[in-house]
Amino acid sequence: TRTEFEAKAAESGAGATEAFRRKQRSGGAAVPAERVSAMARDALEAIHDVIRKHEMTYEEYDALKAWLIQVGEDGEWPLFLDVWVEHVVEDVNTSHRSGSKGSIEGPYYVPDAPALPHDGTIPMREDEPGTPLTWNGQVTSTDGSALGGATVELWHADSNGFYSQYAPGLPEWNLRGTFVTDEQGRFAIRTVQPAPYQIPTDGACGTLIAAADWHAWRPAHLHVKVSAPGHELLTAQLYFPGDPHNEDDIASAVKPELVLDPQDAGDGSVTVDYGFVLDPV
Ligand code: MBD
Ligand code: FE
């Protein structure tokens, strides 16, 4: 049997593509023709401008074509778009909010993770490596009222930087859970600190990164989706201070408001307090 260290770009890509197709089947909406026309025309014009500005050669055009074909073959469209495009979509769609800052969802969310009480341990292996992390927080509305029965979905990479369901050898729901707040809107979650995440180097996205001489790293992060009746869904990521990639995240998804302030508990574990303020719809 294979371990997470033998993860293949084309496998996690195929998984992310399949997960996205499932999500589309359960709610994809038709985009009106005027919107398609206006945005497609502007996108194509932006590409034409790049070609003119840089006087793209036929060799470069063919390299681009070959690379685009490879993105699809590796199933890496979800990864490519979420790393280099989604942050602007997130920005445009959340700028009206006065509650907590959010961030991008990324390609590795899976709905319906195991349900846990407001105070619980996320599913993990018997010998799960990494620094234990206890996270206490509260979910409130922008008027300050507590949101009991709110849902906090948490998913993150393990301390080797791999996500369950997208790397081999991990239990299906490892480090994925759905917590429900108590009457005061509070939750207390036990997990382990994730490691920084490296974009797979053996797929099309890795090819672009190497060809452009960029780096392939996202800082260590926790993903959450926080929801409550009558409130906008908050999708966010939380980061750890001192991570060298907080300043140059390949996915441009770090905001200062999303950096945690972990405290050393003195027993090899870390505690953190961080809550969420949701905007009413
Ligand atoms: C990730 O783990 C992630 O969160 C994003 C946004 C892109 C690639 C990998
Ligand atoms: Fe992630």
pLDDT band of residue 83 (cuts 50, 70, 90) is: very high
* CA atoms within a 13 Å half-sphere pointing along the CA-CB vector of 100: 27
CA dihedral over 11, 13, 16, 17, signed as positive or negative: negative
Element (H, E) at 211: helix 204-212
Q: Against a cut of 0.80, is the pTM above it?
A: yes
Q: What per-residue confidence (pLDDT) applies to 281?
A: 96
Q: Closest residue (by CA) to atom 6 of ligand 1? A: 106
pLDDT at 205: 98
Q: How far is the CA of 108 from the centre of ligand 1 (A)?
A: 7
State yes or no: pLDDT of 28 exceeds 90.
no
Q: What is the DSSP string of 30-55?
A: PPPHHHHHHHHHHHHHHHHHHHHHHT
ipTM: 0.97
What DSSP assignment string belongs to 160-194? TS--TTSSTTS-TTTTEEEEE--TTSEEEEEEEPP
State which amino acid sits at residue 110: V
Is the distance from the beta carbon of residue 175 to the nearest atom of ligand 1 less than 6 Å?
A: no
Tens of pLDDT, residue by residue over 184-204, are 999 999 999 999 999 999 999
The DSSP code for 62 is H
Residue nearest to atom 9 of ligand 1 (CA): 106
Q: Tell me the three state secondary structure of residue 239.
A: strand
**Biggest CA-to-CA distance, the chain:** 63
Q: In whole angstroms, what is the distance from residue 122 CA to residue 219 CA?
A: 21
Q: What is the pLDDT of residue 95?
A: 96
- pLDDT tens-place string over residues 87-130: 999 999 999 999 999 999 999 999 999 999 999 999 999 999 99
> Cα dist. 116→79, 84, 113, 188 in Å?
29, 33, 9, 11
Q: Whose CA is nearest to atom 4 of ligand 1?
A: 106
For residue 88, report the phi and psi dihedrals to the nearest 5 degrees: -75, -35
**CA 70 – CA 207 distance, rounded (Å):** 10
Closest CA to 16 of 115, 83, 66: 83
Pocket probe mutation, ligand 1, options 74, 77, 83, 88, max atoms within 8 Å of Cβ: 83
- Tens-place pLDDT, residues 244-274: 999 999 999 999 999 999 999 999 999 999 9
Buried residues in 58-84 as b, exposed as e (16+ CB within 10 A): eeeeeeeeeeeebbeebbbbbbbebbe
What are the tens digits of pLDDT across the range 152-189? Answer: 999 999 999 999 999 999 999 999 999 999 999 999 99
**Both tokens of residue 49?**
């401008």
For residue 13, which ligand has an atom nearest its CA?
Answer: 1
Task: Please tell me the distance between residue 156's alpha carbon and the centre of ligand 2 in angstroms.
Answer: 6
At what angle are helices 86-94 and 77-84 packed, to 10 degrees?
50
